[in-house]
């Protein structure tokens, strides 16, 4: 039986100078625990708040000035899945939700005892034991359906369905664990945590093309409707909606942050995709093609296009999404980051094609609006 890790809720400001030490300390405390990941190693800057925009929905704003080099969010995933790439040499994500570190190709690996699929890997025996109750709900499905989905559908569909399955498993564990004594979290006055944060995610059902909606509903009916295989499944309609929420809100995990203007010289690629995850707070952030933009009519085109990036985002060594400022933010400013690598989608037409295809909106950020003129 594993012991519960300390609940580490941080409410004082920290900078990128402190974050490496912080991540090391918190990573060690969280590894190999079966406690609820929504409460472990979670940080939100005290000046970061949530607001609502009629068009965008939820958004992140700052309530007071925040200097450059400040960590805004350290957000553990509510659910995460590894993506196996034959050419990715840094390893595969440990399937223990309270660890999620990369297991190197040449390191000792601990697989599911039932050998459901090769993608389920643990970095230690203690991680395998700690994740047993969570994995039990997905193991029969993976053993029976994984190969079929991958061959008859495609890899992308498999990873989305697996992520949905892990969301459902986390929700069921949360239900079984409540009421659960835990340290009072003052951040929850500003941000939802746990399943409440997932339920609050937009599904964009009114925006997705009907062909995609029909495909996702068919996937839910074909692969996620057998209660005997996956106990605790929601209704077909709720499962299809959950697929929409995952498609709208999941993060691709790459070893480096997405490129933003001004681009580094020489160019630095994000690296290969190695995972997909859903985050309670990070998903609230909205896109901008030039996320340094201040909401100010006095900015010129050159100031908009050539400014420094406002927010960088990338996962840390334990799968937590970290948002960091690289310039000063002013009170009331929205915190935006780019949903994709801007070095790969440079001109207005290419960027808008990307947001329409993958995110169901035509970008109208300040940069795109100015480039229309």
Give the CA distances from residue 282 to residues 59, 137, 224, 249, 323, in Å, rounded to whole numbers and listed in that order. 10, 26, 27, 9, 8
Query: So what's the pLDDT on residue 249?
Result: 94
Which residue, among 85, 246, 100, has the nearest Cα to 155 in the 3D structure?
A: 85
Number of Cβ within 10 Å of residue 181's Cβ equals 4
Q: How far apart are CA 189 and CA 171, in angstroms?
A: 21
Query: So what's the pLDDT on residue 94?
Result: 96
| Cβ–Cβ under 8 Å, residues 287 and 359 | yes
Query: So what's the pLDDT on residue 131?
Result: 95
| Structure token digits, residue 79 | 């659910």
Q: Quick: pLDDT tens for 152-170.
A: 999 999 999 999 999 999 9
Query: So what's the pLDDT on residue 30?
Result: 36
Query: So what's the pLDDT on residue 227?
Result: 92
Q: Quick: pLDDT tens for 63-104.
A: 999 988 788 888 999 999 999 876 677 789 999 998 999 998
Using 70 as the pLDDT threshold, list the residues of the chain that sit under it: 1-40, 86-87, 178-186, 188, 257-270, 291-313
Strand partners, 14: 71
pTM for this model (two decimals)? 0.83
- Which runs of consecutive H residues, i.e. helices, occur in the chain? 16-30, 125-130, 132-136, 139-152, 155-177, 194-199, 210-223, 236-249, 301-306, 348-359, 366-372
């Amino acid at each position: 039986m594993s012991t519960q890790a300390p609940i580490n809720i941080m409410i004082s400001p920290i900078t990128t100078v402190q974050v490496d030490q912080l991540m090391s300390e918190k990573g060690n405390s969280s590894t190999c625990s079966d406690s609820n990941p929504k409460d472990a190693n979670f940080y939100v800057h005290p000046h970061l708040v949530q607001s609502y925009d009629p068009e965008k929905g939820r958004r992140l704003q700052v309530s007071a000035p925040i200097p450059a080099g400040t960590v805004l969010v350290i957000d553990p995933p509510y659910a995460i899945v590894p993506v196996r790439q034959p050419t990715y040499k840094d390893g595969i994500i440990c399937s223990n939700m309270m660890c999620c570190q990369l297991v190197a190709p040449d390191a000792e690996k601990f697989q599911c005892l039932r050998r459901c699929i090769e993608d389920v890997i643990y970095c230690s025996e203690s991680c395998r034991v700690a994740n047993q109750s969570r994995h039990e709900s997905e193991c029969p499905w993976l053993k029976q359906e994984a190969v079929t989905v991958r061959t008859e559908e495609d890899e992308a569909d498999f990873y989305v369905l697996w992520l949905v399955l892990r969301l459902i498993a986390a929700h069921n564990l949360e239900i079984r664990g409540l009421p659960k004594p835990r340290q009072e979290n003052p951040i929850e006055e500003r941000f939802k945590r746990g399943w409440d944060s997932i339920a609050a995610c937009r599904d964009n059902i009114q925006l997705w093309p009907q062909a995609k909606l029909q495909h996702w509903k068919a996937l839910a009916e074909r692969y996620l409707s057998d209660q005997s295989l996956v106990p605790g499944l929601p209704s077909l309609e709720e499962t299809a909606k959950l697929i929409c929420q995952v498609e709208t809100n999941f993060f691709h995990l790459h070893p480096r942050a997405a490129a933003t203007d001004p681009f580094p010289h020489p160019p630095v690629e994000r690296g290969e995709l190695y995972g997909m995850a859903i985050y309670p707070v990070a998903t609230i952030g909205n896109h901008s093609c030039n996320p340094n933009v201040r909401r100010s009519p006095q900015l010129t085109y050159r100031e908009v296009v050539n400014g420094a990036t406002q927010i960088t985002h990338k996962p840390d060594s334990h799968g937590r999404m970290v948002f960091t400022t690289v310039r000063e933010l002013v009170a009331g400013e929205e915190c935006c980051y780019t949903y994709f690598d801007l070095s790969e989608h440079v001109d207005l037409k290419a960027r808008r094609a990307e947001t329409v295809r993958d995110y169901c909106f035509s970008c109208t950020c300040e940069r795109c609006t100015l480039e229309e003129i």
